Structure 1
């Protein structure tokens, strides 16, 4: 296999590993608030929204330190051990306790920062300026298959269930834990790209290492403390750059809408008693529709990246329009109190007779719009900050997770219409600043090409 083929294989393995891990974790996040409402325990007093707020809050605080961890242990081991903590969080639902639930939430928050920083690093060092868009799309499409398999299982397992029993819960979460562990071990199949290796074939099989600030691979004799400090300093410097400041509003929007589609919207569908006794199982179908939208968007916009003569702006604009259509239909279709309804659900209606078809169409549109924003953000960050990819992706997740934590926090008490209004305003502002950042990136690229002549 040629060097470019091996790099592509690394991207595919990375995507499949994340697909399995997040088949478990995203399914867990999609159903946990509904599951918690069904607990037959008087000793458990917790909120799925609060757990997610803790995860993303700790995630954001950990992101500026994550490049240091990746610099010390390398991206491969960083992803593996982070994945183990994700598996532990899922396993906690088999026999849940309030203290273990919130402790696991803190640990997953720390693990997430390391996991996504390492992922961005692996994506970048296995890509070139010509392949970063394609590889971002491939990774994103593979990752979003996770929304299909787990949610299909939820639909089949919970079809016709008005109440989720302890046995139902334990069966689901044991299965999800095993799937997550399989994904963790797949990371050991990722190898250092041949193009970065020196010497004979034996060196090509070495495991991947994170690049330092000068884009070289870490040597065995490197000063690890110096690398850790350097990674932290680089992250702080990048956070203050014009390009990252411009992208920050777009990244912030992805954090808000991540919360909405991954935690709030599924809960709203499950709370709608007007959808009948299958409302709970519709949470799984909604997740599948989101996944189909994510896969379509990631695959199309990633694979057509080389054919796009107009840059990333049209894709981001399409994502905003798609989300606006979804938000308007949700406003008309879903009851205002659905995010806060008790286990029995809500009998209220919005401005039209509630329709399952419209609800699932909105799920699909949410997935398409999310893929538009995320694939283009992955692409522009990998393109703009190629020489400092680990700190750059850490900042990406730092900003995204702060806003996701804030959104999960206000989801505990804000009615649906207020949540939609926040998404509309931040999405519009984030799109405008992305356009400016893309114009600056293209200008710098053309200037660089001119200087190299």
Structure 2
């Protein structure tokens, strides 16, 4: 197998492994608040929104150390151990206890930081400037199949249900735990790229000989990774991209947690309201898959540039927000177990709600594929710190969004996303226009 084929194979395995893991985790996040609402009449008194706020808050802080962890143990082991923690979090729902639920939320936040930093590192070392756009799209499309499979099961299993029983919950979460573990094991199929064989082989030899310089070298790499992360935070390019990344964190919270809860709370959808959560997730996934596949495979080598894709993403999202504002009751995110009988400016339409799910997924793929692409392009020599900062900003904004989702009506949540999305798009344009000059001058961190 040629070097290029081996790298593409690694990207495909990476995407498939993430697909299995996030089939479990994203489905879990999509239905968590609805499941928990049905549990709060028991001794369990947790909140899905609060759990996600904890996860993303810890996630953001842990990104400060995740490049050092990846530098010490390598991306493959980092992703495997992180996958174990993801599986443990999902397993909590089989027999939930409030203390275990929130404790697992803390640990998965740490694991998520390491997982995504390692993913960015693995993506970059298996790509070059000519393949980073394609590989980002391939990975993203495979990852987003996770939204399709898990939510298809939810849609079929919960058809016509207005209450989620203990048996329903356990069946779903046992299956999701097993699926997550399968994805975790797949990380061992990723092979080392030939370009890095020499250095990695030397490291391995030193370790086998018990050379003291090996551990010293790992510690040096860890400290260097942390220092470079701090320097990178202050560059103009990262500061500008942080606004775009902040927007992806806000809309991630909305489509992965809040919107499904809104759909499940609308009593006027009748007996389909719970199964529609699964159908919504399916169409979010279809939008993500089509977007990732098209922008990754058709727009090879970025010959059309990244800005047109980002423009499409923000337009698609603004249309979705406008339609959701007219279709969904304002109090839907905050509704109790009884749901809401209110309506917005029209009678709630199932078809329009599901169409908006598709638009949310399509717009999200536009932003994320281009952010992955531009980070891999600009920081090919510093991929782990760059992706750690990306996930730091995204996760802290997601945590903030999950926190205010407990209190803000739908209209204010949509307004926040519109404002941040507008400025995030402008900042991305600025970085994209200056990208060739940045690469030409090399890893110069003096520009602020």
Compute the TM-score of the two structures, normalised by the length of structure 2: 0.94
* 1:391 match: 385
Alignment of 1:212-223 (within 5 A): 223=217
* 2:231 match: 237
* 1:297 match: 291
- Aligned residues of 2:40 and 2:46 also touching (Cα < 8 A): no
* 2:446 match: none
Q: Distance in 1 between matches of 2:301 and 2:389?
A: 29
* 1:372 match: 366
Instruction: Evaluate the alpha carbon distance shift between residue 40 and residue 446 of structure 1 in structure 2; reply closer, same or farther with a 3 A threshold.
Output: closer
Return the offset for 1:445.
4.2
Secondary structure at the aligned position of 2:372 is classed as helix
Secondary structure at the aligned position of 1:29 is classed as helix
* 2:427 match: 433
Q: Distance in 2 between matches of 1:155 and 1:304?
A: 32
Return the offset for 1:305.
2.6
Alignment partner for residue 317 of structure 2, among 299, 319, 323?
Answer: 323
The answer to whether the aligner puts 1:59 opposite 2:53 as a matched pair is no
Alignment partner for residue 335 of structure 1, among 329, 337, 347?
Answer: 329
- Aligned residues of 2:241 and 2:427 also touching (Cα < 8 A): yes
Q: Distance in 1 between matches of 2:288 and 2:102?
A: 30
Q: Distance in 1 between matches of 2:10 and 2:284?
A: 26
Secondary structure at the aligned position of 1:369 is classed as helix
Q: Distance in 1 between matches of 2:281 and 2:95?
A: 25
Post-superposition Cα deviations, 1:271-293, rounded to whole Å, max 9, x if no partner, equal 01111111000000000000000
- Aligned residues of 1:60 and 1:113 also touching (Cα < 8 A): yes
* 2:15 match: 15
Return the offset for 1:447.
6.7
* 1:421 match: 415
* 1:209 match: none
Instruction: Evaluate the alpha carbon distance shift between residue 180 and residue 134 of structure 1 in structure 2; reply closer, same or farther with a 3 A threshold.
Output: same
Alignment partner for residue 308 of structure 2, among 288, 305, 314?
Answer: 314
Larger deviation: 298-307 or 26-35? 298-307
Alignment of 1:161-180 (within 5 A): 161-180=161-180
Return the offset for 1:427.
0.2
- Aligned residues of 2:331 and 2:409 also touching (Cα < 8 A): yes
Q: Distance in 1 between matches of 2:190 and 2:438?
A: 32
Runs (5+) with no aligned partner, structure 1: 207-218, 449-453
Alignment of 1:21-170 (within 5 A): 21-39=21-39, 42-170=42-170
Post-superposition Cα deviations, 1:278-327, rounded to whole Å, max 9, x if no partner, equal 10000000000000000000000011232643410000010000000000
Instruction: Evaluate the alpha carbon distance shift between residue 155 and residue 233 of structure 1 in structure 2; reply closer, same or farther with a 3 A threshold.
Output: same
* 1:273 match: 267
Q: Distance in 2 between matches of 1:42 and 1:298?
A: 42
The answer to whether the aligner puts 1:443 opposite 2:437 as a matched pair is yes
- Report the number of matched residues: 433
Q: Distance in 1 between matches of 2:107 and 2:81?
A: 11
Runs (5+) with no aligned partner, structure 2: 205-212, 443-448
Larger deviation: 32-41 or 4-13? 32-41
Post-superposition Cα deviations, 1:208-254, rounded to whole Å, max 9, x if no partner, equal xxxxxxxxxxx956522222111111111111111101101000000
Post-superposition Cα deviations, 1:41-71, rounded to whole Å, max 9, x if no partner, equal 5321111000000000000000010011111
Q: Distance in 2 between matches of 1:306 and 1:289?
A: 25
Return the offset for 1:418.
0.2
Q: Distance in 2 between matches of 1:43 and 1:331?
A: 35
Q: Distance in 2 between matches of 1:221 and 1:409?
A: 41
- Aligned residues of 1:40 and 1:166 also touching (Cα < 8 A): no
Q: Distance in 1 between matches of 2:70 and 2:88?
A: 21
Pairwise CA RMSD: 1.6
Larger deviation: 303-312 or 61-70? 303-312
Return the offset for 1:197.
2.3
Secondary structure at the aligned position of 1:123 is classed as helix
Post-superposition Cα deviations, 1:161-184, rounded to whole Å, max 9, x if no partner, equal 110000000000000000000000
- Aligned residues of 1:72 and 1:227 also touching (Cα < 8 A): yes
Q: Distance in 1 between matches of 2:117 and 2:7?
A: 18
Q: Distance in 1 between matches of 2:217 and 2:330?
A: 56
Q: Distance in 2 between matches of 1:444 and 1:304?
A: 26
Secondary structure at the aligned position of 1:324 is classed as helix
- Aligned residues of 2:288 and 2:361 also touching (Cα < 8 A): yes
Secondary structure at the aligned position of 1:387 is classed as coil
* 2:353 match: 359
Secondary structure at the aligned position of 2:381 is classed as helix
Q: Distance in 1 between matches of 2:226 and 2:138?
A: 29
Compute the TM-score of the two structures, normalised by the length of structure 1: 0.93
Secondary structure at the aligned position of 2:408 is classed as coil
* 1:382 match: 376
